[in-house]
Amino acid sequence: QLQLQESGPGLVKPSETLSLTCTVSGGSISSSSYYWGWIRQPPGKGLEWIGSIYYSGSTYYNPSLKSRVTISVDTSKNQFSLKLSSVTAADTAVYYCARRIISYVNDAFDIWGQGTMVTVSS
Amino acid sequence: QSVLTQPPSASGTPGQRVTISCSGSSSNIGSNYVYWYQQLPGTAPKLLIYRNNQRPSGVPDRFSGSKSGTSASLAISGLRSEDEADYYCAAWDDSLSGFWVFGGGTKLTVL
């Protein structure tokens, strides 16, 4: 059973860079059938897609965050990572990593990590 | 402000049928599939409906999705107490360089 697990600091200072890693277990991140993505949820609010990456390194980002976001993949460690620069309090959220299927019949975010809370505060 | 519009709340009694709406535009729902996610309190979202009306294995047939024009709906029949959760719609948006958009979520209360 494939599982995703987010990890990283729970507290980041304003103007600094938020860094998170998602470790994939029970399956290979190098499969051609999936994209891997980051989605966040501010406290009490809805979901916001941040961006996604293919195992080859191909990425696409939310235009509203694109100037501050970098997503990378390390296939040797079966991990992908998120960096969000110049953070403010508005970036405080639960950050989820998720798998997105690429197939003829389905292309949903079907497996999600449990999420990790990141607070931006001095 | 979410790109897709959902009512903030919905409610029903056990056994009832409830529907949750999701309104978008021609660049998202109007031209792409709709997905629905269920988020139980304190947990990660779970895929409920994909490609407008398809259920992943394990999702009860009490849950159904539909789409018409730039709007979509999630229907839950035979409402149960364990259905009390937040529900989110999602779609791909073709504007700009393309990106995934979500609704603001609907909190379903089982009375």
**From A45, A47, A110, residue closest to B47, measured CB to CB:** A110
Q: Does A49 touch chain B (CB under 8 A)?
A: yes
Detail the DSSP E strand segments found in A9-122: 11-12, 18-25, 34-41, 48-53, 59-61, 69-74, 79-84, 93-101, 109-112, 116-120
- Which residue of A lies nearest to B42 if distances are taken between CA atoms? A114
To the nearest whole number, what is the mean pLDDT of chain B?
Answer: 97
pLDDT at B65 over 90: yes
pLDDT one-digit tens code per residue, B19-62 = 999 999 999 999 999 999 999 999 999 999 999 999 999 999 99
- Average pLDDT of the segment spanning B11-16: 97
pLDDT at B4 over 90: yes
Q: What is residue A103's predicted lDDT score, i.e. its pLDDT? A: 85
Inter-chain touch B104–A46, beta carbons under 8 Å: yes
Give the pLDDT band (50/70/90) at residue B97: confident
pLDDT at A105 over 90: no
Q: What is residue B75's predicted lDDT score, i.e. its pLDDT? A: 98
pLDDT at A22 over 90: yes
Q: What is residue B61's predicted lDDT score, i.e. its pLDDT? A: 96
Neighbours of A103 (CB within 10 A): 9
pLDDT at A106 over 90: no
Which of these, A94, A96, A111, lies nearest to A3 by C-alpha position? A111
- Average pLDDT of the segment spanning A11-38: 97
Inter-chain touch A112–B46, beta carbons under 8 Å: yes
How many degrees, rounded to 5, is the angle at CA B55 between CA A62 and CA B21?
A: 60
Q: Which residues contact B39 (CB under 8 A, 6 or more apart)?
A: B45, B46, B85, B86, B87, B88, B105
pLDDT at B1 over 90: no
Q: What is residue A74's predicted lDDT score, i.e. its pLDDT? A: 97
Q: Which residues contact B67 (CB under 8 A, 6 or more apart)?
A: B29, B33, B34, B52, B53, B73
pLDDT one-digit tens code per residue, A48-96 = 999 999 999 999 999 999 999 999 999 999 999 999 999 999 999 999 9
pLDDT at B77 over 90: yes
**From A37, A47, A48, residue closest to B45, measured CB to CB:** A47
pLDDT one-digit tens code per residue, B80-94 = 999 999 999 999 999
- Average pLDDT of the segment spanning A91-109: 93
Q: Which of A5, A38, A40, A47 is most worth mutating to test chain B (most B CB atoms within 10 A of its CB)?
A: A47
Copy the structure tokens of residue B50: 């994909």
CB A122 within 8 A of CB A13: yes
